[in-house]
Structure formats: C-alpha cells, structure tokens
A and B are shown apart, each in its own frame.
Chain A
C-alpha cells in the first residue's frame, strides 16, 4: 500500500472522530456549586471606578437634599417671620432699627408686649426660645432686641435652646440699663456655654449614608443614634446593599456602639464597633452576620447638621452565601450626613 492510500485511510479515523468536536456528556448536578465555591475573588478595577463615582454622586445627592430640607425647615421660616414681626412693631422708644440677613444688627427699646404677643400666638406644637442676639449701647439707653424663635417640639430636644425660665429672666431685665447690660453679658456667656456644650445635650441623631466595601457594590443606610452616656451612643438603623456581582440585594440591620474620641473645633472624631445582620432579599436567601469596627470623622456645620466619613473594617463571621464567596475581612468606606437633635 502506498503512502497516499495509507494517509487516506488514517484520515478515515480523523474524519470519523471529528464529530466529537461538539459532543456533549451529562453533568453531575452539583458541579456548578462546587465550582462557585472555589471561584477566587475577582478584581474589578473598572467596576470600582464606577462604584466610587456612584458613591460620590449618592453623597452629593444626600448632602444636597439635606441642606435643602435644613434651610427650608419650618422653624427657620417662622423665626424670620417673628424677627420681622418684632422689629416692625410700632414702639414709642424705637430709635433705630436695621436688619441684615442672616445676622441681626439692631437697636431697639425693649418691647415686652411684642414678646407676649408672640407667646399668645403659640399653640401646643410650638415652644419659645428666647435669645439676645445683639445688644448695643447708645448714649442714653441700653436697648435690646429680643427675638423669639419658634421651634417644633420634639421631646426634650427643645431644652438645649432655652426655656421659659430663661425668657422670664431676660424679660425681667428690660428697663434697667445696668442690670440689662450685665444680663446681656451673662446671656452671651450662657449662649457660648450652650454652644460649647451642645454636643453633650444632643441626645438623638439621624443619619443617612452611602458607602461601599470589598464585597458589596454600594451600601445605602439610614440610622438612628441615641446618647446613652456622656460620650457613648447606641447606633442602629437599616442598610440596603447590592452585592459585588450586582445580582443580589441585601437588607441589613446594624447595632453598634459609638464612642466620641475628641472634638477639634468643628471636627469630631469617634469610633464605632458592633455587628450587622444581612439578609439576602433578591437572588438568594442566605443570611450573613458580620462584625464591624470603624473610625469616623465628622464635620459639624452647626449644632444640627454634620457630615461624616467612616472607614470601616468588616469581618464576616457567618457566611452562608451560596452565590457569592465573601471575604472574611473586608474594608470599606461610607459617608453621609448626620442630623442632630
């Protein structure tokens, strides 16, 4: 047999077996779950890029909405109205009046009747806070402008802003130049002390945050904080997160303790520690329990509003995931806004 015939016959085999190029064989059922368990963590550099953008965008939205809500909250509107009402009321002793927003720079004679009028306009949902904003000394008399702020009453929240006792003390000083000056200075001191000690009197805070970590694409959270000791707060709330792969959605409940470390001007540093239980609500039914530890830095715009960032370390102690293999440790970052009451 010559070489070409032999080659042709050998090709019979190659041709016959080329059918196997698309051959299929039945699989055992649990092979995918075994593969899934052993899949290594994927590095998502380009995903991470978009993830950080989405976190930044979410943060901007949260801050923007918060600022809008804060600037338009009813107490401020009422306050301005009251100021306008007080300063425009007719008075025999009125010598000079000017108003520059947002601070008030005015001189006026005491107008006890205005204050009383304000009080009579109140109903149960409002409470008075009396503040001496500015006092200036004229040649003949010391005059005060008394501004009544109305604030919605939330339990004890109002107490740090002043009370009826303060109002009466201040009202009692009107008409007496010397005592009025002393009282004004005392009020200034009290006001300063009030500002300095505001954090110790703030019992409640609400938070809204957006963040990310190694296992989760983005985490949105709302929280509530209750001060339980001088520097210690209890923190809880709810979180919504999407998994790294984007196919799972998780609802979580954190429970943490927050400890205030220090205050430097408007910046406050604190540490948090606790745990979070997460339940998969889409594409799975696994529950994950994790321990959390974080350090936070907070910038206080004023006594009511602060922005914060929290680098966080998460340890998954009970990972029953069937669709994702979570890391034991994962780092993350969240930022948000804190409303203090």
Chain B
C-alpha cells in the first residue's frame, strides 16, 4: 500500500502542490443481529480507498477514490490540487500545518484472538446468549434485540515531509435492548459493552450472562419506576454519563477548529478559571484505563495526554497541525478522519474527567439527598455550551440511601455552570469505547472515541423531567 501513497505524494510534488498528505485504508466490518429470538441478519462490509489532502497557497482540498490504479490516483491528486487552487483565491489567513518532528513507524496492536480466526458460529453465540439470559429474567417482553459488531483494519499514511506509518484498528461491541409493555405503555432498556480488542474480549473479559442479567433486571425495575421530577437537585453522576458530559459538552468546545473560528465559547479563554477545583478534563491517545487505542493521528502526529481543564482552569485545546499554528502551537494528535472518505479534522481521542480521592464506596453517603443519574442514551450540545443529556435511569437518594428509581431523566444546562458545580470527583476512573456508537462532526460519523470518568458529585444540576 505504501507504494501507492508514494506515487500519490510524488505526483503531487510533480504537479506543484506545496504540501500533500496521502492516506489509505482497508477496513472490514461484520455485524450480527438477533430479533424475535432468531439471528435475523449477518452483514459483512469492506471499506477500501486512498485519499489525498493538498494544502496549496493556504487552502486545503481533499479527494479520494476506491481505485488503486495509477490513473485513478493521478485523477484525485489533480482534482484536489485544482480545488485547492480555486479555494486559495478566497483565503484570508493561509492554512499552514505546524512544523513537527513526526515519527514514522508501524503501530501494531497485538490481539490474542483476531476476528478473522474465529468461526462465525462463535460470534452468533454471543447474541443468542444475551437473548437466552434476558428473556428468562425480563418481564412483559415485547421484543429483544441484540447485535454484535466487529471492525478491524489498517490505515496507511505518508506526507510530503516523508513521515509514514501504518496503524491497526480492532473494535468490537455488543448491544442488547429489551422492549416491554406494561399497561399499554412501552418501556425499554438497553445495555452496551465494547472494547478496542480482539475476540478475546468476549471469551476472557466479559460475561454475556452477567451483562444480560443487568439489562433485564434494570428493565424490570424501570417498569415500576416513576418519571423523574423537574427542577434543580444535588446530584451524583455515574462514570459513563460523566464521560459523555466530558466529551459532548466540553470536549467539542476545545476542538481547535471551533476555537479558532470563535464558534466556541472557550475561544480566547486559556488560563481562565471555568470550573471548580474538582473539575479536571483530559483527552488522551492511549490511556492506561482503557478506551480507544490511538498512538498517532491522521496527520502523523503522535498523540499526547492533553490536559484541557486543570482543576477548573482552561489549559489546552485539541489541535490539528493547522489549528496548532493558529492557536497555542501545541501538537496534541487530534487530527482524525472517520474514514478515507474524509480529510482529518480536530476530533477527540479518549476524553475523561480525571479521578480524585473521594472513595467510591462513600458516594451515596456524600450525595446524601439528591438524584443519582446513571448511564446515558446520549445527548446533544450547542456551541454556546448548552446541553441536554438523557440518562438511562436514575435513583432518588435520601439520607445516603437509594429510596426510589426514576425512568429516564434529562439533564440540561450550560457546561460552564456544570463545571462550577462539581463538588468532587471519586477514585473510580473508567474509560469506555465500542464498535457501536461514536462521535459525529461535520458529516463524519461514527468516529470511534473513548470517554469516561469517575463518579462526580454535583452541588446542583437541572433535571428536565419526562413530565411534571
């Protein structure tokens, strides 16, 4: 594959492009879906292609093809070069990748059991096992859906600076969702597991039965749960939800392109105190606590452990080489592309709230009275920092004890208020990633990322409530 990239770069130089970056990808997916107690669908997809990014006279253009012959490569190089020249006519501030000392290499990830070496039967078993366990425990079931997914492949990179690398990807995930009907009302619950790993994750790490039991048990409880109240409450936020908050409502605002274009409310705020002493947010390429493994980004920059918010003070942004030139001159390794169909843009790696010294076993006691918000079905934010997150479920806590369960609850507010309200972080950091889900930005979805945090204690959070 490197010879194709070499040809693309040489041809870019030949026709006069100032800077070029060539990427290639070969990625395979397999997905298995069970419904109605039966395997309904098995699909296999393969994504292959080669793409070229050209920066010429301060403008950037990208073009790709799924053909690897020389004529097709020439064609995309010419196309990108032409588009860059056109765009260059309207450039006010020229785009320039920050100079760097890149590191060429082969970034291999050692999995114990490659997906390729596992019989499809073994993979089918996973969704069946989820179903078999869940159906016996869950009550009033209308439908159970479980899906298995795997992705593996390799990315290749070469730029005009001569930096080249190849990088492995291995992702897997299992989603289980149970739908029930009680007194005419549909009530659903789903759980998800996943990792950057080979198939050994399902044989050595995860117990499908335990995972399915959890999903079914929570669903049964939700059938009796009340709607969450609306209003402001003291709150405890669980790890996964903390991660989504770190990613969605804060991480995006630190992405270099949003900062540089003043779209982010965090623009020009480096050094400012935005949150409490307990609010520390980090974005890292290869965290020890797990998550998505990303040693190098799609511009050939080694990823760093990037502290974004340090004890409440904004200290960093997430950069591509281009935004680093404009912003703080720090290369963080955050230029990422969802696939060969797109150029890299500033995206997150593994974004998490840093843990602290509060003991997780004392979390309910420390919350004392309030709402314990658990997991999430996702949420949405706006560039002004407003957010809305839906928790998977929540508990009412009175005098340090769980007294009631709430169905899905809604957290709303502005991230800058949220950060100020963090009273403490616990010592139980967890970072998650999965084949399923991912981050979306600029039409590039789903980009696999990692996210997480410890439990967080909040002085006050606004809950929207399902009904009042």
Q: Bound pair: A and B? A: no
A residues whose Cβ falls under 8 Å from a Cβ of B: none
B residues whose Cβ falls under 8 Å from a Cβ of A: none
